[in-house]
Structures are given as C-alpha cells and as structure tokens.
Structure 1
Amino acid sequence: VAGLVKITGLAQLALCKSPQERPRILYTKMPDVFEQIPKNAENELSLARKMIQWKPWELLVEELPATNGNGQY
C-alpha cells in the first residue's frame, strides 16, 4: 500500500529501506528521545503516587449488607 509507514518500537522511528540510513536517523532522533526521558519518568512517578492512594489491588465492590429476609436491608 503506497504511503503506509511501519513504525518501530523505538521512539516511533519509521523503518528504513536501507540499513545504512539507520545510524543517521537514530543520531538525529536521539536528542528528542533523551529529552523525553525525564518527563516520562516524572509521569510514572506521579502515577505510582496516585496508585498508592487508589489502591487498585483492593476489591472495587463492597459486600452488601445482610437483608432481613424480605429483601430489605
């Protein structure tokens, strides 16, 4: 399909048709990738702090109170 671009897992770099292009492309993209690392780390730290508050490992649903036999609580 014309215009279709495959993406690699590394910083979404387009795949090269020739291996000789790879070092040049990586060299030009790496400063952008390195610049994103502190921001991503801060985002992950923020998420970890929220997860401590949210306690996702605990059950989401609480037990229902006991009924008096006719369906009322």
Structure 2
Amino acid sequence: MAGVHKLTTGLTGLPVARHPHKTLKVLYSRILAYINKMPSDAGYRKHTEQITNQRLHLVNSETDVQKLEEKINCGQIEEVIKQVFFYKACIN
C-alpha cells in the first residue's frame, strides 16, 4: 500500500482501516456470491453486480488508498467499508 498512512479518520467512532483492500475484496466477493443465487435477469442483481464488480476492479487495480477513495467517490475508505458491511447485513 503506497502513500501516507493516516492516524485517524476524523470521524467519531470510525477507526482507521488496517487492511482496507483485503477487507473490501472479501466483502465484495461475498456480495457477488450471494446475488449469484438470484435470477440472472433480475434488475436488482444486474445493478448490484455491476456496481460491485466495478468497485472490486478498482480495489484490485489501485493500491494507493487515497487514490482508491477518489475513484470510488463515496468518502473515506473506512466509510465505504461501513457501507458495504451495512449492505451485507441487510442481505443476510
């Protein structure tokens, strides 16, 4: 992982992610496995699969966390992880 290591997110109760790439790869893979059980023509599956695959591609191709945050464009990487955890909790 390149770049400066941050010490805080600046957000109360949200600690800095130690291994954000690994965490996101696992979470996105689990989401893809779950939605793979849905009918292939389901709109929800298509949309979720598209977004998840795009983000997984970014995680796999961008090693710099700061650049990854910019490319995903949904806040700090810790916020992205929290969003994915929330989504995963909703589908389980």
Same fold (TM over 0.5): no
Report the TM-score, using the length of structure 1 for normalisation. Answer: 0.31
User: If you compute each CA radius of gyration, which structure gives the higher value, 1 or 2?
Assistant: 1
